[in-house]
Structure 1
Amino acid sequence: MKPILLLFLIAGTVLLGRAVHSSGQPPTQPPEAVTGFDDQSNGFSDPDRRKADQKFFEEVESIAPDGLGPLYNAQSCRECHQTPLTGAASQVTELRVGHLDVHRQFQNPQIPINHGAEVIRDRNLVNDRAICPEIQERVPGTEIVRTTRLATNSLGDGYVEAITDETLLKIRKKQCKASRGTICGQAIKVLVPESEGPDRIGRFGWKDQHASLLAFAADAYLNEMGITNSLQKTEVTTVCNPPVATTVPNTDPTKITEPNSLPDPTDNNLEDIDHFASFMRSLKAPARDETAASAPGVKHGAKLFASIGCASCHVETIVTGKSPAAPGGPGLHPDALENRTIHPYSDFLLHDVGTRDGIPIALVEHFGRERIEKRMRELEATRAAEARQRQKGKAEDECSESYQTAVLEGGKHADLLRDTLCARNKLRTAPLWGLRLRSRLMHDGASVRLSDAIRRHKGEAEAVAERFSKLTPADKKALFTFLQSL
């Protein structure tokens, strides 16, 4: 399960205070989203359903009968999402590693386990824990690219899921136009595993690897807790993986009952990931500290936030559209998330802010081998045609802003592998709502001061960081006061 990236960008288009509407219609002052830090639903779920969902979210998983492991980072969802309440953020980080090939391109690591008898491939996440000592992952010295990722905040994510693709593309278009291409968030269309419908723009995870909370839940259950489910059916390894009904270790994959998480016929055929997704959808958006917001200097700080360029990507206000949440049993009300005004201070797009670790989305890790191989087969004919074009000298820069725009507008075909590689040095603009609750900042949690987090911004954000450095001490104080009210 996967925090705060202050993406301060050029001051071309100031979106601060202007609602971007999922409907594309003129502003009509839709109702505000429900905010707060308590254990009450935002209206998505009835009290009894929310209580049941929270129980699953907080459940401490065991090897049997829950199916914890063999490799894992946490024993419950709450371990990574608990500050200041269940479902929020934390200071927990995960480790991602890899190496560079002869072309200086990132490659996923090869991590031997079981005394070298097996090698973990196709993922760049390294799990901290294992259910038996022989499969504990240890990073070889050859894997020289190493970084951490801070756990993300889940508060308000039900509203984020309800933002339409059209709204995100509208934000992107304004950025690109205002900055003449200098600031231009990348939107990646990703698989929606639970749906047979079209791909959707990603908005969850540091790499925007998921568009739906159910897919995010399935990913977290497998890769953070080692629990397979209907959307992620294959274990990372079968070594030491016991049958669900017993804790006796065995290495015979034919005796393993998969998935570990199964639909419960006594619970409307729901499984754990359904409860996880429903719980996240029911979470209120982070509330602003109204006392701090009325402090001297806050209004001036907000103006500075806009004028130096932060608001170009840290978009204050967005209006949600129709929630894609499918019916998940009785007691759920997706319409509670629709046509609501939220203040996330994010565009939920990918930007180059100088992190430069080059780590792309590990597709097999996040979507499963079978699903990715199927998608790659579907793209074979298109790739062959592109190869012929390149031979004729008509190759284009497929990572360019113009090409990616054509992909999003349907003029060029989408290619999940290519588009994720184009974003290998980019990260999602972290929402700043709830910022005051975080003691560690940036994607890796390495910054503990706002000033340091801002100065670390490079790439697209370098000009804004430079503007920040030229502010007077009084102006910097006003900006920090504003940020600490969020």
Structure 2
Amino acid sequence: MVRTGLVALAVLAGVAVASDASAGDAIPSDVLEQPDPHLNQVPRTAAERARILKVVEPTRDFTRPEDYELNMGGAATTQAAVNRDVFSQFSANMPFAHEMDFKLGNGLFRKFWVSSPSSTKASDGLGPLFNARSCQSCHVKDGRGHPPANPDDDRISMFLRLSIPADTDELKAAIASHRLMVVPEPVYGTQLQDMSIQGIPAEGRMEIVYDEIPVELADGEVVHLRRPSYSIADPAYGPLHPDVMLSPRVAPPMIGLGLLEAIPAEDILALADPEDADGDGISGRPNFAWSPEYGRVMLGRFGWKAGTPTVHQQSADAFAGDMGISNPLHPAGYGECTPAQTDCRAAPDGGDAPGTDGLEIDAAAMDLVSFYARNLAVPARRDLDDPVVLRGKQLFAEANCIACHRPKFVTARLKDRPEQSFQLIWPYSDLLLHDMGPGLADGRPEGMADGREWRTAPLWGIGLTASVAEPASYLHDGRARSLLEAVLWHGGEAEAAKQAVVALPKSDRDALIRFLESL
């Protein structure tokens, strides 16, 4: 059943939350008044809402595939062959007139940036501090990143987020009002950049140490998990703040982002149950974030803790933070260099190229990148009528994994985004925050997300991870080397579901994994 917690009731009724609600559970007035300023949508009628609720209700029939289940991304689903390029296809329903925009965006996504000054004016401005020279370097083949395979391996598709606790009333108020997501580390900012241009020291190097944890399943099989510990070696700008909080991130896959962005906010909020009013042990809370695009607070959808509201903002943040490329939302040519890094801030930048408004990537180019990111297609399901896969799907539902990994949504009717308009999609996520227990906790809050909470990761395409880029790895820091390892790391609100999987006989456990591999 659709949960109707405090957040859902407020949205559906169009009123503010009750006065005794905690600040973290209140819906900002901006979201109540206009939930989706990024969507030029046709309002739904009451009859249409009722029909959609029926369509997205999880199935109870596991004898056959559901109608339209093959096309996880609706009409935008790609039927391309499974190979390393399967995540790099454009929306199958894309009008021909839009294909050139996709290809131009792809070129910018793959572009390698160089430092300034350079004769290549269209590509200079890298850094001064950075984690990668191109978007594609992190999102390998538009898929997910991975941790280093050994101590000497590069860390290009993985980095550390940094912040410190909010220790003043002013900072706490800024976070409570969603104007600030984290308090940056005073010298190193909000992420560790382990590369830099010539003459500017890189900030340091992320170090990872793994401890092995054996987990015995009910039938005697032993699975070895690896618990990572993180530190920063050779900090070039002095010691870090004594209360610094570190949180690792691997780059997530790029597929289906435009479809997730097109889900009406009210549909996501209707699944929230911050006080667990229905007593099922699953809470689910929304995160909210300030949008410099729209000058207001919006529902967070993207990032490992749902700290970003739109694809465009997510792209702009990555250009600035990961590559030091200035853009309309982050116009500073020095990227993430802090005031304490004076030489870094004084280094040349690439904002003097003609026709770019003093930016290293201008608004027109950013729009192309955002269009590309919105239209990387979700691949079609595989083997969905296989009896073993159907059995695994049933076990997934019986373990109540679908309480967070919500199978279906219907996107809004959009006037200007035909690829994402009114599609039945199967992301297997509610896009809400959930307490995942101490094993996955990073101890670092982000906006309304606390140190144990993570956004439910969409599962579409997860079975193709190894096909796109090996070695396959899962979870926010890539610690899990298999889907079973990823399941066994679940805790908190997912503890009961995990224990249900632990108790399965091997044949059923294998069927569950086969179902996940079919997504």
Q: Establish whether TM, by shorter chain, passes 0.5.
A: yes
Partner of 2:304: 206
Conserved 8 A contact 2:274-2:284: no
1:109 is displaced (CA, Å) by 6.6
Give the 3-state SS of the residue equivalent to 2:301 in structure 1: coil
Deviation of 1:89 (Å): 2.7
Letter in 1 for 2:159: E
1:159 aligns with 2:238: no
The aligned residue for residue 436 of structure 1 is 463
2:347 aligned with 1:244: no
CA distance in 1, matches of 2:260, 2:165: 34
How many residue pairs are counted as aligned between the two chains?
Answer: 370
1:479 matched residue in structure 2: 512
Contact 2:182–2:445 (CA<8 Å) still a contact in 1? no
Cα distance, 1:175 vs. partner? 10
Contact 1:149–1:444 (Cα < 8 Å) also in 2: yes
One-letter amino acid of the counterpart of residue 402, structure 2: A
Q: CA deviation at 1:179?
A: 3.4
Match of 2:50 in 1: 25
Contact 1:43 1:282 in 2 (8 A): no
Aligned positions of 1:75-114 closer than 5 A: 75-83=133-141, 87-91=142-146, 92-97=157-162, 110=185
2:482 aligned residue: 449
The equivalent of 2:177 in structure 1 is none
- 1:126 is paired with a residue of what secondary structure? coil
Greater relative CO (CA pairs within 8 A, separation 6+) = 1
Q: Write the mapping of 1:387-398 to structure 2, written as runs, cut at 5 A.
A: none
Tell me the equivalent position of 1:407. Answer: none
Cα distance in 1, alignment partners of residues 137 and 300 from structure 2: 24
Q: What is the Cα deviation at residue 71 of structure 1? A: 1.0
TM-score scaled by structure 1? 0.69
1:34 and 1:465, CA in 2 relative to 1: closer, same or farther beyond 3 A?
same
SS in 1 for 2:115: coil
* Corresponding residue for residue 189 of structure 1: 288
Q: What whole-Å deviation, never above 9, does each CA across 1:74-105 have from its counterpart, x for those lacking one?
A: 1111112233xxx33332222224567999x9
Which residue does 1:304 correspond to in 2?
Answer: 395
Q: Distance in 2 between matches of 1:154 and 1:51?
A: 15
Give the Cα separation in 2 of the matches to 1:77 and 1:279. Answer: 12
Q: State yes or no: 1:232 paired with 2:265.
A: no
What one-letter code is carried by the residue in structure 2 that aligns with 1:93? M
Q: How many Å separate the matches in 2 of 1:352 and 1:163?
A: 23
2: CA distance, partners of 1:189 / 1:422: 9
> In structure 1, which of residues 348, 355, 364 is the aligned counterpart of residue 431 of structure 2?
348
**Counterpart code for 2:326:** T
8 Å contact kept, 1:97–1:143:
no
Q: 1:101 to 1:338 in 2, by over 3 A?
A: closer
> Percent of pairs identical after alignment?
30
Change (3 A) 1:128 1:109: same
| 8 Å contact kept, 2:185–2:244 | no
Select 2:196's aligned residue among 123, 130, 142.
Answer: 130
Quote the residue 2:359 is aligned against: 259
- Indicate the residue corresponding to 1:285 in structure 2: 378
Q: CA RMSD in A?
A: 3.2
Q: How big is each residue's C-alpha offset from its partner over 1:133-188, in whole Å with a ceiling of 9 and x where there is no partner?
A: 543102347567444212111111111110111000122259944435x3111112
Q: Report SS of the residue matched to 1:335.
A: coil
Does residue 1:35 correspond to 2:77, yes or no? yes
Kindly provide the amino acid, as one letter, of the partner of residue 172 in structure 1.
A
**Distance in 2 between the 1:467 and 1:55 partners?**
46
1:427 equivalent in structure 2: 454
2:294 counterpart SS class: coil
TM-score, normalising length: structure 2 = 0.65
The answer for the alignment partner of 1:61 in structure 2 is 113
Mark the CA change 1:259 to 1:308 in structure 2 (over 3 Å): closer, same or farther.
same
Q: Secondary structure at the match of 2:282?
A: coil
The question of whether the paired residues in 2 share the 8 Å contact of 1:13 and 1:179 is answered with no
**Residue 336 of structure 1: SS of its match in structure 2?**
coil
In 2, Cα distance between equivalents of 1:207 and 1:25: 30
1:52 matched to 2:52: no
Is this contact kept in 1: 2:248–2:476, CA < 8 A? yes
Letter in 1 for 2:474: L
